[in-house]
Amino acid sequence: MTDDRIDQRLRELARDYHRPPAVPREELWARIAAERARRRAAPRVLALRPWLRWGLAAAAVLVLGIALGRLTAPVGQLATPPDSAGVVAYRVAATQYLTRTEALLASFRAEARTGRLDAQFAGQARDLLTTTRLMMDSPAARDPHLKSLLEDLEVVLAQIAQVPAGRAGEDVDLITQGIEQRSVLLRLQTAVPAGPGARVQGAL
Amino acid sequence: MTVAPVSSVDERELIARVRAGDGLAERALYDAHVDRVFRLAYRLAGDDDLARDFTQETFIRAFERLDSFRGEAALSTWLYTIATTVTLNGLRKLKRRGREIELDHAAEVAGGARRAEPDLKTRLYAAIDALSEKYRTVFVMHDVEGYTHAEIATALNVEVGTSKAQLSRARAKLREALADFAGEWVS
């Protein structure tokens, strides 16, 4: 018997290999619809690949370096940074991070006084907490002032992320006390580069 | 249920409607392709629950990513690529976790409806299971489910020649595994 004939016989016999049952069309369609609805309703989590994570961290570090350099350099001795599109993009990204964090903490403190807290605070705090931890793992944290600020921000943002929506009790008082005692807002404002257009409008 | 094949013109229109958020078009697209997707998933997984999971995930991904479909290949080929990726990745994960899928070949063979060569079939199924993933996938897609080499090559991201070579090698391995049944081939 030739190989061709054997192969033909094999194909005939293999038709029963894992022979599928009738396709459960309606059940499958219902499952697909339900799962798609569930995924649409679920909060989106941005899973960053390691190279992207480090890329973002490096970008943020670069911007912060520029921002800190501008803040610490004596007046009149500011070196003009290279006006490349990359540097501008980095500056915008870091400024946005610092501005968003500052705006979140200021809003949180203001709403805490009214006794009602919006549910969006926890979500925004979680987002910013991720960025903060990326910064802490990056060479930016070698700067002792920035490291200290990032550590305080991590604690505060982690606490806000845990606050249940609508509750402004003792926990919230402790968080706002922490913000005041560590002068977090003042230090954040100092870290944000000054000048027209430095702050990002509508960041929150 | 029999679904009429979708012509290329209809398919383009269907895709445009799905992209515009037309739920009926989504269902029509699903109806046109679910049989082959499910059959492929089942043939490769050999398990009803897994085949359902893989089919579900295939269509969810397809609907999510339809905007990225550029129409360079037929929609069916694009769907089979997703189905193959989802199924093989799913099976690899299960293998890594050490989960064994129960294969009840004995029940199939003892089913009574089929008359021929229970031992030969059992050995053949075991030999197919024992093939490496790439050989088994090509064999199942081509010789069992009737996919063309062009479709297989696209789905597995290999050259057509590679698909042909792997099928040839898979068949040779099966012949070798069943060599002691040579006397029964002619029956």
Q: How far is B72 from chain A, CA to nearest CA, in Å?
A: 26
The domain boundary, picked from B42, B69, B101, lies at B101
B148: CATH: 1.10.10.10
Q: Tell me which chain A residues have a C-beta less than 8 angstroms from the C-beta of B170.
A: none
The domain boundary, picked from B101, B126, B159, lies at B101
Is residue B145 domain-shared with residue B88, that is, in the same domain?
no
> What would the two tokens of residue B99 be?
């989960």
Does residue B121 contact residue B131 with C-beta atoms inside 8 Å?
no
Query: Using the beta-carbon criterion (under 8 Å), do A10 and B60 form an inter-chain contact?
Result: no
pLDDT at B126 over 90: yes
C-beta atoms surrounding A123 within 10 Å:
13
A49-53, A175-179, B99-103: which range is least confident on average? B99-103
pLDDT category, A159, cuts 50, 70, 90? Answer: confident
Query: Using the beta-carbon criterion (under 8 Å), do A17 and B44 form an inter-chain contact?
Result: no
The rounded distance, in Å, linking the Cα atoms of B134 and B140 is: 10
To which H or E segment does residue B10 belong?
helix B8-19
**Which pLDDT tens digit goes with each residue over B172-183?**
999 999 888 776
The rounded distance, in Å, linking the Cα atoms of A202 and A23 is: 51
Is residue B134 domain-shared with residue B186, that is, in the same domain?
yes
The domain boundary, picked from B58, B84, B101, lies at B101
Q: How far is B185 from chain A, CA to nearest CA, in Å?
A: 7
Is residue B107 domain-shared with residue B81, that is, in the same domain?
no
Residue A186 is predicted with a pLDDT of 83
Query: Using the beta-carbon criterion (under 8 Å), do B185 and A6 form an inter-chain contact?
Result: yes
CA angle B98, B102, B103 (to 5 degrees): 130
Residue B70 is predicted with a pLDDT of 84
Q: How far is B67 from chain A, CA to nearest CA, in Å?
A: 16
Q: Is A71 within the bounds of a domain? A: yes
> What would the two tokens of residue A28 be?
């499958």
Is the overall model pTM greater than 0.80, yes or no?
no
Is residue B92 domain-shared with residue B176, that is, in the same domain?
no
Q: Is A13 within the bounds of a domain? A: no
C-beta atoms surrounding A39 within 10 Å:
11
Q: Is A72 within the bounds of a domain? A: yes
B12: CATH: 1.10.1740.10
> What would the two tokens of residue B90 be?
């799913």
For A25, which of B1, B39, B46 is closest by C-beta distance?
B1
- Residue found by looking up tokens 């954040």 in the block: A188
CA angle B47, A42, A159 (to 5 degrees): 130
**Which pLDDT tens digit goes with each residue over A114-151?**
766 777 778 888 888 888 877 777 766 777 787 888 88
Q: Tell me which chain B residues have a C-beta less than 8 angstroms from the C-beta of A16.
A: 108, 114, 121
Is residue B146 domain-shared with residue B55, that is, in the same domain?
no
Does residue A162 contact residue A122 with C-beta atoms inside 8 Å?
yes
Is residue B114 domain-shared with residue B71, that is, in the same domain?
no
Q: How far is A171 from chain B, CA to nearest CA, in Å?
A: 41
Residue A72 is predicted with a pLDDT of 63
Q: Tell me which chain B residues have a C-beta less than 8 angstroms from the C-beta of A20.
A: 38-39, 42-43, 51
Is residue B30 domain-shared with residue B75, that is, in the same domain?
yes
**Which pLDDT tens digit goes with each residue over A163-178?**
766 665 677 777 888 8
C-beta atoms surrounding A28 within 10 Å:
19
Task: Decide which of A107 and B132 is more confident.
Answer: B132
Q: Is A198 within the bounds of a domain? A: no
Is residue B65 domain-shared with residue B111, that is, in the same domain?
no
The rounded distance, in Å, linking the Cα atoms of A196 and A36 is: 45
**Which pLDDT tens digit goes with each residue over B62-86?**
999 998 888 888 899 999 999 999 9
Range of the domain at B32: 1-101
pLDDT at B104 over 90: no
pLDDT category, B107, cuts 50, 70, 90? Answer: very low
Is residue B8 domain-shared with residue B77, that is, in the same domain?
yes
Q: Is A135 within the bounds of a domain? A: yes
Is residue B44 domain-shared with residue B72, that is, in the same domain?
yes
Query: Using the beta-carbon criterion (under 8 Å), do A1 and B182 form an inter-chain contact?
Result: yes
Q: Tell me which chain A residues have a C-beta less than 8 angstroms from the C-beta of B116.
A: 13
Is residue B131 domain-shared with residue B92, that is, in the same domain?
no
A–B: how many Cβ contacts below 8 A? 83
Q: Is A36 within the bounds of a domain? A: no
Give yes or no for A12 touching B (CB within 8 A): no
Is residue B133 domain-shared with residue B86, that is, in the same domain?
no
The rounded distance, in Å, linking the Cα atoms of B32 and B174 is: 34
DSSP class per residue in B90-154: HHHHHHHHTPPPP--HHHHHTTSS--S-HHHHHHHHHHHHHS-HHHHHHHIIIIIT---HHHHHH
ipTM of the complex: 0.81
Q: Is A80 within the bounds of a domain? A: yes
What total of structural domains would you count in chain B?
A: 2
Q: Is A70 within the bounds of a domain? A: yes
Q: What letter does residue A139 receive in the DSSP assignment?
A: G
Range of the domain at A109: 48-191
> What would the two tokens of residue A115 be?
């006794």
